[in-house]
Amino acid sequence: MQIFAECLASVNRIEEFLLQGETLYQNYNSKQSKNNMEFEGSLYWSKPQVKKDLITNIDTRYNGEETFISLENVTCAYGNRTVISDVTVDLRGENLITVLGPVGSGKTSLLLAILQEIPLISGKVRKSGSLSYVPQIPWIFSGTVRNNIVFSQCFDKKRYENIIKVCELESDIAAFPEGDLTTVGEHGVVLSGGQRARVGLARALYFNSDIYLLDDPLSAVDAKVGRRLFDNCINGVLKTRMRVLVTHHQQYANYATHVIVMNNGKIFKQGIFSEVVRSRGVLNLLGSIETLTESQEKHLEEEMHHKEYKKLGVEEAEETTLKECIGMTIDDEEKLSGSVSDRKSVV
């Protein structure tokens, strides 16, 4: 009966989704050409390019146009709340683009606008090339570590092992009792926040896209691991791809060919980093970001030291070890049957 109820609820959700109206404009002007199609108020998508695989160096794309992302006077909103307003950017080629700004400034919304995941009120979104998105809170399903990385792709051992290495997952996987065949549990319950972020990044690398949208993947790891991830992965094996990196770490903007500073849902300033930092008001804005980041890192380091040097007097029974967490599942409900004794208690 319970299984039937769950199936009925799932079918109702699917039906509700399928019956929803279209979110894109109904009255659009389309222009067709040999390799692409363009929609006013929608998106532009051309055939993928010829690209070398990140690891095996094998051609995996068809011939096409230059990789690019173009937003022209884009405004997006949820209901009556505008999340980004009048945004115009033109990003091309195999470059690193960093997006800076305080919390709630519209950095994530900018990536979602590129993905067409939020309602487009006005403007035009165009893009060319395959795309991978690494969200700030990665999606992890209840399977093995390997399945979460390979996902729907064919398993290539050499490519997989190299990606594990550049994503700083080797030591973590070695610590698991069953290695990368360890079941991570519902929503990746046995993984830490940093491990989930690196697994999500590894999955994106394994897909071998032309464009990578990275929503602050370095915020969940400590400073040393974050630096290695940036050098070996984001600015290493991904250097032949377009990378749009949302980050609170100002030092990584020095390596970017284009910097976008967001504030209150609008582009406050964009261009080369050396020119952007000299603009009026940018230093104050970035200074507050850097101070917040240093405070968060200090708190994280203190928390790690506290766990590392924890007093031995704490009862071990109160702590759940990694081995106890591995393969954590929801047990079937237990039911006992019998009768209550009618024996009267003696007072």
73, 122 contact by CB (below 8 A): yes
Q: How many Cβ atoms from other residues are within 10 Å of residue 299's Cβ?
A: 10
Both tokens assigned to 133: 């998105």
Name the 3-class secondary structure at 335. coil
Paired sense of beta strands 68-78 and 30-32, if any: unpaired
Q: Tell me which residue of 126, 125, 128 sits closest to 46, measured CA to CA.
A: 128
Quick one: 74 exposed, middle or buried, by C-beta within 10 A (0-12, 13-18, 19+)?
buried
Domain residue extents for the chain = 131-208
Name the 3-class secondary structure at 284. helix
CA atoms of 86 and 75, how far apart (whole Å) = 5
Sheet with strand 120-128: strands edge to edge? 81-92, 68-78, 120-128
Name the 3-class secondary structure at 88. strand
Name the 3-class secondary structure at 179. helix
Q: How many Cβ atoms from other residues are within 10 Å of residue 248's Cβ?
A: 21
C-alpha dihedral sign at 195, 197, 201, 207: positive
The predicted structure's pLDDT at residue 278: 76
Kindly give, in sequence order, each residue whose CB lies less than 8 Å from that of residue 159, ignoring residues fewer than 6 positions away: 53, 54, 55, 56, 206
211, 60 contact by CB (below 8 A): no
The predicted structure's pLDDT at residue 222: 87
CA atoms of 109 and 59, how far apart (whole Å) = 33
How many residues can be counted in the chain?
Answer: 347
Is domain 131-208 in CATH 3.30.390.10, yes or no? no
The predicted structure's pLDDT at residue 341: 57
CA atoms of 118 and 112, how far apart (whole Å) = 6
The parts of the chain modelled with pLDDT lower than 70 are: 21-65, 281, 284-347
Taking CA atoms, 336 is separated from 34, 44, 276, 342, in Å, by 69, 61, 69, 18
Which residue type, as a one-letter code, is found at position 158?
Answer: K
DSSP letter at 233 equals I
Per-residue model confidence as pLDDT tens digits over 131-147: 999 999 889 998 899 99
Q: 142 φ, ψ to 5°?
A: -80, 85
